[in-house]
Amino acid sequence: MTAPLARFAGLFVPYEKRLGLGLVHRPQYAYCMWHAGKLAQRLGHERISVLEFGVAGGNGLVAIEQHAAEIERRLSVKFEIYGFDAGSGLPAPEDYRDLPYHWRAGFFKMDETGLRARLKRSTLVLGPVKDTAASFLDQHKPPPVGCVFHDLDFYSSTRDALQVFDGAPEFFLPRLFNYFDDTIGSETELYNDFTGQRLAINEFNEKHATKKVSRCYHLARYIRRPVWHEQVFVLHDFAHPRYNTFVSDENQQLPLE
């Protein structure tokens, strides 16, 4: 839903209801942040982080800030927001895995001055993602990361961004929502498991014995299936010290029929 329509719906429909119906701007962002916030709340965290890799013009960060404000009014969790970008647009593709038939160097250049004027609370982390993702946790000491939005387009950039997950477990929730923007596309992109973001995900899973990025099979139960349902994944850290902490309903006893 576009931002103007989402604002119009907000005049009449409560946020939780709009979120469930997809009547919010960038519903994939709202979904990931809402459920990350609920998990954090159940685990006793007062603050969590949201990361966006690939800020470009900044509309995504603006949407994240808006959803953070809505969710913070409903959950006992606060968000810290970080946006990663080179600032100069896409780099030159490394090879065929970056889909040079679809992307060109210089696409999506940031207007940093204009963007900073629009942002209210986000922190921009600028520079080559290979460097910023590797140094982010040590430099910023963020509260546990609860969800990550990946919009770096390339295989190589996504591969480099995923190295942030190699950090210590205290910097992450044990199950972490991820949205990968460039995994569906059209007949032009022809995304597949051997190039682009899907390849980066597959390689990450191959290299990590106890950390796996998995599709969200529970979304299959929804009657209405928007495309973004196929773009949401969850990182499971099976070795995380809080992975087995009980967070479900206390009373699951079923009555006799």
Give the pTM: 0.93
Report residue 72's pLDDT band, with 50, 70 and 90 as the boundaries.
very high
Strand partners, 126: 85
Q: Which H helix or E strand runs over 27?
A: helix 27-43
Q: Is the pLDDT of residue 9 over 80?
A: no
State the burial class of residue 230 (Cβ atoms within 10 Å of its Cβ: 0-12, 13-18, 19+).
middle
Total domains, the chain: 1
CA distance 195 to 132: 23
- DSSP 8-state secondary structure symbol assigned to residue 24: S
Say which CATH number the domain at 174 has: 3.40.50.150
Q: Is the pLDDT of residue 17 over 60?
A: yes
Residue 226 located in a structural domain: yes
Q: What residues contact 113, with CB distance under 8 A and at least 6 apart?
A: none
| % of residues, the chain, pLDDT over 70 | 95
| % of residues, the chain, pLDDT over 90 | 86
Q: Is the pLDDT of residue 5 over 60?
A: no
Residue 30 located in a structural domain: no
Amino acid identity of residue 186, one-letter, is S
- Mean pLDDT along residues 5-15: 65
Amino acid identity of residue 218, one-letter, is H
Residue 134 located in a structural domain: yes
Task: Calculate the alpha carbon distances from 110 to 64, 84, 146 in Å.
Answer: 17, 11, 25
Residue 100 located in a structural domain: yes
Q: What is the pLDDT of residue 3?
A: 57
Q: pLDDT, tens digit, for every residue of 181-217?
A: 999 999 999 999 999 999 999 999 999 999 999 999 9
Report residue 223's pLDDT band, with 50, 70 and 90 as the boundaries.
confident
Q: What is the pLDDT of residue 34?
A: 97
Q: Is the pLDDT of residue 228 over 90?
A: yes
Report residue 253's pLDDT band, with 50, 70 and 90 as the boundaries.
confident
Residue 63 located in a structural domain: yes
CB 191 within 8 A of CB 182: yes
CA distance 154 to 156: 5
CA distance 76 to 47: 9
CA distance 80 to 60: 15
Residue 48 located in a structural domain: yes
Would you give the distance in Å from CA 252 to the centre of its chain?
31
Q: pLDDT, tens digit, for every residue of 31-40?
A: 999 999 999 9
Per-residue tokens: 71: 């969710």
Report residue 84's pLDDT band, with 50, 70 and 90 as the boundaries.
very high
Would you give the distance in Å from CA 182 to the centre of its chain?
12
Residue 11 located in a structural domain: no
Q: Is the pLDDT of residue 11 over 80?
A: no
Q: Is the pLDDT of residue 4 over 60?
A: no
Q: Is the pLDDT of residue 119 over 60?
A: yes
CB 218 within 8 A of CB 166: no
Q: pLDDT, tens digit, for every residue of 98-113?
A: 999 999 999 999 999 9
Using alpha carbons, select from 91, 82, 176 the residue that is nearest to residue 135: 82
Report residue 2's pLDDT band, with 50, 70 and 90 as the boundaries.
low
Q: Is the pLDDT of residue 41 over 90?
A: yes
Amino acid identity of residue 37, one-letter, is G
Per the structure, the complete domain to which residue 141 belongs is given by 36-237
Amino acid identity of residue 110, one-letter, is M
CA distance 18 to 100: 38
Query: What is the pLDDT of the chain when averaged over all its residues?
Result: 94
Residue 62 located in a structural domain: yes
